[in-house]
Amino acid sequence: MFHKHMLLVLTVLLLISSGLIAQALEKLPEAVEEELSERLDACLGKPPLKSPGFLIITDLTGDSIPDFVIDYVELNCSGRGMFSGSGGSQVQIYVGTKGGQAFKAFRHGKFSVKIDKKTKPARLMLGVGGVLCGQTNFTSKASAWACMRPVIWNDRTREFEFAPLSQIQPIR
């Protein structure tokens, strides 16, 4: 019961800036609730601090149904991140469905997340490195190239995937 209460408090804190708040607040999809609840367990029974980037709700597929981006590094458990290290952290995307549910359509490591909500659908870019930026002579993290690489929806496979290398934006 404690987790359900924490989840509700966290959800309200997280959704303040979302344009799809009313639709998503009716009820978070069960799969998203379960994922958030699992992550909240890491806070060891203490309510998390404000974590506005932990759950981002926006339309990424172009169907006007809210999709859910969970950025692990943004969960703030009593002033410390629990899901990141020198190699970055994970991001997951759940695609919302007409029936109010959602399914996991992407999970990958990254260094950063950028979402441009001015485009329709919103455009998701992940900060990644090395071979994901087209580097062929990757020998260590220290020598890795860094870039922002778009993640795009593939309607045929019903999954998100990295956009072609031609769409990367180098980070200098």
Give the tens place of pLDDT for each residue, 17-35: 444 444 455 689 999 988 8
pLDDT at position 66? 94
The pLDDT tens digits for 96-115 are 999 999 999 999 989 889 99
> What is the full DSSP assignment across 66-125?
-EEEEEGGG-EETTEESSEETTEEEEEEEEE-TTS-EEEEEEEEESEEEEETTSSS-EEE
- Residue 114: Cβ within 10 Å count: 12
116 — pLDDT class (breaks 50, 70, 90):
very high
Residue 36 binned pLDDT confidence (cut-offs 50, 70, 90): confident
Q: Hey, where are the domains in the chain?
A: 2-170
Question: CA-CA distance, 126 to 58, in Å (whole number)?
Answer: 16
